[in-house]
C-alpha cells in the first residue's frame, strides 16, 4: 500500500526531529509557540500540515521545506 503525502510529510518531520535529537513533541511545540497537542495531531496525521506550518517547521529545524516533500519528478522512460 502506498503512503499518502500526509503520511510522508509527517514521517519526514518525525525523522528530522529524531536526527536532531528531539524525541518528543515538547521541543517543537515550544519553538513554534503551539500546544503539544497541535504537534501531536500533525505528526500522527490526524490533521494535515499546511504549507505555512511546513515553512515554520523547516525554519525551526534549519532545513529546506523540500526535505519534507516527496519527489514529484516524473519518471523517465528509457
Tell me the pTM. Answer: 0.87
> How far, in Å, CA of 2 to CA of 13, rounded?
18
List the domains of the chain with CATH numbers.
Answer: 5-66 (1.10.260.40)
Confidence at residue 12, expressed as pLDDT on a 0 to 100 scale: 97
What is the torsional sign of CA 1, 67, 19, 28? negative
Q: What is the pLDDT of residue 71?
A: 85
Q: Which residues contact 37 (CB under 8 A, 6 or more apart)?
A: none
CA separation for the pair 66, 57 (Å, rounded): 12
Q: Mean pLDDT per segment of 10 residues, for the chain of length 78 residues? A: 87 97 93 98 97 97 96 64
Cα torsion 30, 41, 25, 22: sign: negative
Cell of 65: 521545506
Amino acid at each position: 500500500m502506498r503512503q499518502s503525502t500526509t503520511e510522508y510529510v509527517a514521517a519526514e518531520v518525525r525523522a528530522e526531529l529524531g536526527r536532531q535529537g528531539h524525541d518528543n513533541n515538547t521541543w517543537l511545540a515550544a519553538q513554534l509557540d503551539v500546544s503539544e497537542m497541535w504537534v501531536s495531531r500533525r505528526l500522527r496525521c490526524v490533521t494535515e500540515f499546511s504549507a505555512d506550518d511546513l515553512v515554520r517547521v523547516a525554519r525551526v529545524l534549519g532545513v529546506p521545506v523540500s526535505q519534507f516533500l516527496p519527489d514529484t519528478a516524473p519518471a523517465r522512460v528509457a
